[in-house]
Structure 1
Amino acid sequence: MTNDLSSHLLTEHIDYHPTMSLPMAQKRAQMLATIRQFFAEREVLEVQTPMMSQAGNTDIFVPSISTNVTVQDKPQTHYLHTSPEFAMKRMLASWQVAMYQICPVFRDNEVGGRHNSEFTMLEWYRPDFTLEMLADELANLLSVVYGTPQNLTHYSYSQAFGDYVGIHPLTASLESIIEVATQHGFGRLGLGDDRQGWLDVLFSHLVEPKLGFDAPTLITNYPPATAALAKVEKDDDGNEVAKRFELYINGIEIANAYDELADGQALKARFEADNEERARRGLPIMPIDEHLVAACDDLPECSGIALGVDRLLMVLTGVDSIDDVIGFGVGRA
């Protein structure tokens, strides 16, 4: 009887309920239906790709979650995808049509008010679309989801840095960047000569929280080091910039878009450089997706975008925690 009573009391203290309320689940379902209808009307193909792959993400800032599988009686390590990008690009190279996907994605060590190890991503690719055309389509999608017209503010990475940090990120010396970081209390991070690392810290703490409160804001013309899979061009001042934009609403990053790189050898070189940096940092070396490298030369000219579905629902409904917009946060999954 004592054991039965102890078991009963223990069970009583377990909270099995979803972290998301029923009304929020209904809003989420309606938003997903609206998104699917938006793409159906534009004849964009919905696809589904594997969530598990033999290759991992080489990006040092996007840690993959590994899983042990057995294939024909042999143990192997596979990786849960951090986005559906690699597999979708292989489809795109073969089929050459516009496509989208809504799926769970996985990133290790991501837990917090805006982060969960498993979250939902909307990703779509548009052959023959420029970044400007993709930005227009994003504005149209937001207008449909919000139910009111949404006009996006365009703001370059350098302009934002100049306004909120007081330096030009593409031309400032490493010493001046570190000096500004030290003035704001970030000098102890020990990033050494990692120029982009220092810029990322300044951007995430001093710029991001200020963006997208008056209107959804697109940050454009990023440093090439921030966009491994994007094309590079020169801006009006002659500085090399990545053809990329990010969407911010209420200080939260919502989406990330590229004018996609279609050069297999250049892509492989970037993956190999990532792995060299991983080795320097003592991080696991990731198997490169050779299927993607092979497909890359056949990619059509296109732009692609990844959008965080959970974060979009957060800003739509005004909640502060991602747990409020997903069925079970990682602590209760």
Structure 2
Amino acid sequence: MSNYHPTMSLEMAHKRAKMLATIRQFFAEREVLEVQTPLMSQAGNTDVFVPSVSTNLTVQDKPQQYYLHTSPEFAMKRLLASWQVPIYQLCPVFRDNEVGSRHNSEFTMLEWYRPGFSLAQLGDELAELLAAVFGYRLIMNHYSYAQAFMDYVGIHPLQASCEVLSAIAADKGLAGIDLGKDHQGWLDLLFSHLVEPNLGHDLPTLITDYPPATAALAKIKQDKEGNKVACRFELYINGLEIANAYDELADAAALQARFELDNSERESRGLPTMPIDEHVLAASDELPPCSGIALGIDRLLMVVTGAKTIEEVLSFPIGQA
């Protein structure tokens, strides 16, 4: 027998509506333009760890495969290249095979781009947005990826060998996993199990200076120790990753090389290769210097309201959709 009832209470629905109204007011006051871009694209996300949902479409009587966007990033960058003004978007995004107490295959993302902003300025604006949503000022803790790793795992992540990382994983009960020579794979495993759960319990925490292999579409720089790091940060509150920010790479040739490297990695793992978004490559060289950020609305609402599972902040999770 069907249970048609929502998993979200009416009280929570009011809190969600209020939070979305607060966010829209926040950006209206700062003259950041709200935009809407297509949910479907002919190109998919090449990122190995971000699986796209595909959909079959008929376009002028011809069957075509499209992809539901995993983020509005590419289309928003095309707008940025043409208009050169600050923009934001609130929209559903889709990830295949993502279901759990903190994950749903369809979730809501806030993404915004600030031409002329450094990553530090974007971090300050994120703190102001959180203050508007929570109703009081929050102090942000800043923590480098390497320092967090050293504090919770006991080694420097950029200097440890795969053998050392593998031994730590086995010692910590993550046995039976063999990532071979995938250095970043080992780091991701240890970070998600041993570091992430500890982050952002006292204060919202910005993790900065990620390994270059995690750069996605961010620029690369040298840290104080001379290590190459990605120009990005992630926000953690109560052990939950809430937001992900980049100093955006505006170099078509470098982006193409990254997309092709992703597809090579996909092939080596037996995953389907994804059609590359030629539109965003064409727009990239016209992209103004800018920083951009994606924030998970459902997870932020979980933190604000104290909800334990994502089902409490969604009307109908994927299993009941």
Report the TM-score when normalising by structure 2. 0.99
Determine if the alignment matches structure 1 residue 146 to structure 2 residue 145.
Answer: no
More deviation, 211-220/181-190: 181-190
- Tell me the distance in 2 between the aligned counterparts of 1:213 and 1:241: 25
Q: Report the 3-state secondary structure (helix = DSSP H, G, I; strand = E; otherwise coil) of the residue aligned with 2:319.
A: coil
Query: Following the alignment from structure 1 to structure 2, what is the Cα–Cα distance between the partners of residues 297 and 87?
Result: 15
- When structure 1 is superposed on structure 2, of 66-75 and 175-184 the one drifting more is 175-184
Equivalent position SS for 2:56: strand
Shift of 1:187: 3.5
CA contact (8 A) 2:162 2:180 kept: no
Aligned residue type for 1:147: G
Secondary structure in 2 aligned to 1:189? coil
165-174 or 131-140, which deviates more: 165-174
The answer for unaligned runs of 5 or more in structure 2 is none
**Residues 161-200 of structure 1 correspond to what in structure 2 (within 5 A)?**
161-200=149-188
**Which runs of 5 or more structure 1 residues have no equivalent in the other structure?**
1-12
Q: Find out whether 1:67 has 2:62 as its counterpart.
A: no
Note the 1:296-311 alignment, pairs <5 A: 296-311=284-299
Match of 1:33 in 2: 21
Task: Report the secondary structure of 1:331's partner residue.
Answer: helix
Deviation at 1:188, TM superposition (A): 1.6
Q: Specify the SS of the correspondent of 1:78.
A: strand
Matched residue type, 1:201: L
- TM-score normalized by structure 1? 0.96
Instruction: Work out whether 1:288 is the aligned partner of 2:281.
Output: no
Q: Provide the rounded CA distance (Å) in 1 between the counterparts of 2:160 and 2:187.
A: 10
Displaced runs of 4+ in structure 1, greater than 2 A? none
Q: Which structure is larger by alpha-carbon Rg, 1 or 2?
A: 1
Map 1:1-333; keep pairs closer than 5 Å: 13-333=1-321
Q: What whole-Å deviation, never above 9, does each CA across 1:194-241 have from its counterpart, x for those lacking one? A: 000000000000000000011100000000111220000000000000
CA distance in 1, matches of 2:317, 2:39: 19
Question: CA RMSD of the aligned region, Å?
Answer: 0.6
Distance in structure 2 (CA, Å) of the matches to 1:169 and 1:145:
34
- Indicate conservation of the 8 Å contact 2:223/2:229, yes or no: yes
Task: Say which SS state the counterpart of residue 282 (structure 2) adopts.
Answer: helix
| One-letter code aligned to 1:242 | A
